[in-house]
C-alpha cells in the first residue's frame, strides 16, 4: 500500500514539475523558409575555352536549395530562446556535408536584465551594425580590392559553407558572441557592445601554451531622430597568444561614423554616408622581420530619390564606395613598414555594393582561379560608383537596374597589375510577389572586363583569351 502511495505522490510531483515548466513558456513559434535558385554562369573566369570554371566548361547551370527551420520560445521574466537549423545543397549532390542539418542560430535573450532597457543576447546569433559596412556576416571575411579572403596575417578562419557551388548565396552569417544592448530611457539612444569568438585554438597536452584565438570586439552607439539616424562605432579584430612574440600576430582597429537622413523638406529624397578609419599592425607574413602598420580608410556616400505621385513609383540612386589601397606589388611583393590598404573585416551586403558578379567572382576564398587570387592579393584597394533605379509597374512586380563601375583606388606599378580599370557590371533584377508568402525573382548580370582583368588573364593564358562574364539567377522563396 505504501508503495502505491509513493508512486502516486511521485506521479503528482512529476505532473506538478511539468506544469510549472510548461507554465513558464508564454509563446512558442515554429517557422522557416525555403529558397530555390536556378543559376547559370557563362565565362565566369573571364576566359575563352578555359579550364578554371568549373572543370573544362565555359558555362555551367545548376539548382540549389536553402532550407531553414526555426523555433522561438518566449518565457516569463523577459527570457527568450531561439534555435534555427539550416541546410544548403546543390540538387542531386548527396553527400554527408550537403545533407546535414546544421546549427545556424542558438541563443538566449534576456530583456530588462538587472536594469530596465538592458538586453543580453548570448550564443550563436546574427549581428548587423548599421548597414553592415563593417560587421554583418562572419563568412564574408573580405580582404583586398573588395574581395572575400582570409585577412592578411589572420590565418585560416573556419567556415561551414558545405559543398554548394554558389557560395556567394550562402545564408550562413551568425557569430558566436555575447552581446549587450542598452536603450537609454530619456533619449532615443541605443548602446551596443559585443565580443565574438571567430576562431578557437585549443592547447594540447604536449604544447599547453600555444593556443591562438581570433576575437572580434565592438562598441556601437545609435541615435535615432524623427527623420535621421546617427551612429558611431569602434571595432577591434585581433588574435590572442598565450606565447609571447609568436608569428602571424595581427590587430585591426577600426572606428567610424554613419548617418542616414530622410529630408522632410524634399519628400522622397534621402542621403546616407559612412566613413571608417583603420589602424593597427600585422605580421608581414614572414617576408621581413617587421610588423606592417595599417592605415586604411573606407566609406561611402550616396543619395536616393523616390518620385512622388507617379503611378510606377520610379526611384533612382547614386552611391560611391571607397576602400583605400597601397601601391605595393601585392601582399607578397615588396613591403615597407606601412600598409595603406583597407582590410575589411566581416561586412554584409557586398553584392549590393560591388555587384553580384563582382562579389561572386572575386569574393569567395578558394574560388575564382588565378584572376580572383590576383585581385585579392592586389593592394590597390577599390572604388565603385553605383547608379541604380527601379520602377513598380504593378502592385506585385518590381523592376530594377544597377550599373557598377569598378576601379582600383591606387594603381600598382608592376605589370600586369599596372592598370586601374577593373570593369563595369550591369545587373537587371525582377521581383514578383506571387502571394503573401511566396516571392519570385530573376537576376541578369553582365560584367565587362576592364584593362586590369584583361591584362592579368592574357598575361597568364595568352593574347585574345579574355572575355566578359555573365550570369542568370532565378529564385523562388517561401516563408512559413
Series of mean pLDDT values for 10-residue runs along the chain (480 residues):
42 42 74 97 83 65 95 92 95 79 96 94 97 90 36 36 77 96 96 93 62 88 96 92 63 95 96 96 59 86 96 97 76 62 87 92 49 52 94 97 92 75 96 97 97 85 89 97
> What single string gives the DSSP state of each residue in 268-291?
TEEEEEEEEEEEEEEE-TTSSSSE
Please give the pLDDT value at position 371. Answer: 46
How far from the centroid of its chain's Cα atoms is residue 331's Cα? 23
Identify the CA nearest to 404 among candidates 425, 389, 378.
425
Query: H or E stretch including 457?
Result: helix 451-461
> How far is the CA of 87 from the CAs of 161, 168, 336, in angstroms?
10, 15, 45
Is residue 448 packed enough to be buried (19+ CB in 10 Å), middle (13-18) or exposed (0-12)?
Answer: middle
* E runs forming strands in 78-174: 79-90, 102-110, 118-125
Q: What's the predicted TM-score (pTM) here?
A: 0.85
**Containing H/E element for 373?**
helix 369-377
State the sign of the Cα–Cα–Cα–Cα dihedral 367, 373, 376, 380.
negative
Q: How far apart are CA 93 and CA 64, in angstroms?
A: 9
Q: Are 244 and 231 in contact (CB under 8 A)?
A: no
Give the pLDDT confidence score for residue 281 in this predicted structure: 82
Cβ–Cβ < 8 Å for 210, 239 = no
Pairing of strands 59-75, 469-479: unpaired
Q: Single out the residue of 285, 464, 453 nearest to residue 368, CA to CA.
A: 453
- 560587421: which residue's cell? 135
Q: Say if CB 363 and CB 373 are below 8 A apart.
A: no
First to last CA, the chain: 53
pLDDT at 97: 67
Domain limits, the chain: 27-479
SS3 16: helix
Neighbours of 395 (CB within 10 A): 7
Question: Do the Cβ atoms of 99 and 87 come closer than 8 Å?
Answer: yes
Predicted local confidence at residue 280, as pLDDT: 86
Output the pLDDT for position 10. Answer: 42
pLDDT at site 14: 43
What is the residue-wise DSSP string for 38-51? Answer: EEEEESTTSBTT-S
**Which residues touch 91 (CB under 8 Å, ≥6 apart)?**
62, 63, 64, 65
Q: Which residues contact 281 (CB under 8 A, 6 or more apart)?
A: 249, 250, 251, 291, 292, 293, 294
Query: Would you identify the CATH topology of the domain 27-479?
Result: Porin (2.40.160)
Residue 367, pLDDT score: 38
319/299 Cα distance (integer angstroms): 10
Amino acid at each position: 500500500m505504501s508503495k502505491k502511495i509513493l508512486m502516486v505522490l511521485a506521479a503528482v510531483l512529476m505532473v506538478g514539475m511539468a506544469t510549472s515548466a510548461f507554465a513558464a513558456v508564454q509563446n512558442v513559434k515554429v517557422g522557416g523558409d525555403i529558397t530555390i535558385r536556378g543559376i547559370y554562369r557563362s565565362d565566369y573566369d573571364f576566359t575563352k575555352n578555359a579550364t578554371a570554371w568549373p572543370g573544362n566548361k565555359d558555362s555551367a547551370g545548376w539548382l540549389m536549395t536553402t532550407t531553414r527551420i526555426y523555433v522561438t520560445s518566449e518565457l516569463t521574466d523577459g527570457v527568450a530562446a531561439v534555435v534555427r537549423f539550416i541546410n544548403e545543397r546543390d540538387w542531386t549532390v548527396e553527400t554527408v556535408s550537403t545533407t546535414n542539418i546544421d546549427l545556424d542560430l542558438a541563443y538566449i535573450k534576456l530583456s530588462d536584465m538587472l536594469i530596465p532597457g538592458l538586453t543580453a543576447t548570448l550564443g550563436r546569433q546574427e549581428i548587423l551594425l548599421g548597414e553592415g559596412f563593417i560587421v554583418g556576416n562572419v563568412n564574408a571575411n573580405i580582404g583586398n580590392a573588395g574581395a572575400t579572403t582570409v585577412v592578411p596575417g589572420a590565418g585560416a578562419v573556419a567556415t561551414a559553407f558545405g559543398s554548394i557551388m554558389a557560395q556567394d548565396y550562402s545564408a550562413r552569417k551568425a557569430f558566436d558572441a555575447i552581446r549587450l544592448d542598452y536603450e537609454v530611457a530619456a533619449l532615443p539612444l541605443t548602446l551596443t557592445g559585443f565580443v565574438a569568438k571567430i576562431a578557437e585554438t585549443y592547447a594540447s597536452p604536449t604544447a599547453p601554451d600555444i593556443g591562438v584565438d581570433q576575437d572580434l570586439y565592438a562598441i556601437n552607439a545609435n541615435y535615432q531622430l524623427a527623420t535621421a539616424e546617427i551612429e558611431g562605432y569602434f571595432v577591434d579584430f585581433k588574435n590572442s597568444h598565450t606565447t609571447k612574440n609568436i608569428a602571424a600576430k595581427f590587430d585591426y582597429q577600426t572606428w567610424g561614423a554613419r548617418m542616414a537622413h530622410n529630408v522632410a523638406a524634399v519628400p522622397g529624397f534621402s542621403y546616407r554616408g559612412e566613413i571608417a578609419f583603420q589602424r593597427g599592425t600585422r605580421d608581414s607574413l614572414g617576408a621581413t622581420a617587421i610588423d606592417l602598420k595599417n592605415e586604411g580608410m573606407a566609406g561611402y556616400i550616396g543619395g536616393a530619390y523616390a518620385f512622388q505621385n507617379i503611378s510606377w513609383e520610379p526611384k533612382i540612386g547614386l552611391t560611391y564606395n571607397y576602400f583605400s589601397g597601397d601601391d605595393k606589388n601585392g601582399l607578397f611583393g615588396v613591403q615597407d613598414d606601412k600598409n595603406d590598404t583597407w582590410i575589411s573585416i566581416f561586412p554584409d551586403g557586398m553584392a549590393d555594393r560591388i555587384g553580384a558578379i563582382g562579389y561572386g567572382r572575386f569574393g569567395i576564398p578558394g574560388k575564382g582561379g588565378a584572376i580572383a587570387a590576383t585581385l585579392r592579393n592586389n593592394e590597390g584597394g577599390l572604388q565603385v560608383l553605383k547608379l541604380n533605379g527601379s520602377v513598380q509597374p504593378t502592385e506585385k512586380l518590381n523592376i530594377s537596374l544597377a550599373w557598377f563601375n569598378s576601379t582600383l583606388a591606387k594603381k600598382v606599378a608592376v605589370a600586369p597589375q599596372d592598370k586601374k580599370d577593373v570593369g563595369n557590371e550591369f545587373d537587371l533584377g525582377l521581383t514578383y510577389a506571387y502571394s503573401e508568402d511566396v516571392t519570385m525573382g530573376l537576376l541578369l548580370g553582365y560584367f565587362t572586363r576592364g584593362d586590369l582583368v584583361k591584362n592579368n588573364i592574357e598575361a597568364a593564358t595568352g593574347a585574345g583569351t579574355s572575355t566578359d562574364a555573365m550570369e542568370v539567377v532565378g529564385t523562388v522563396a517561401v516563408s512559413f
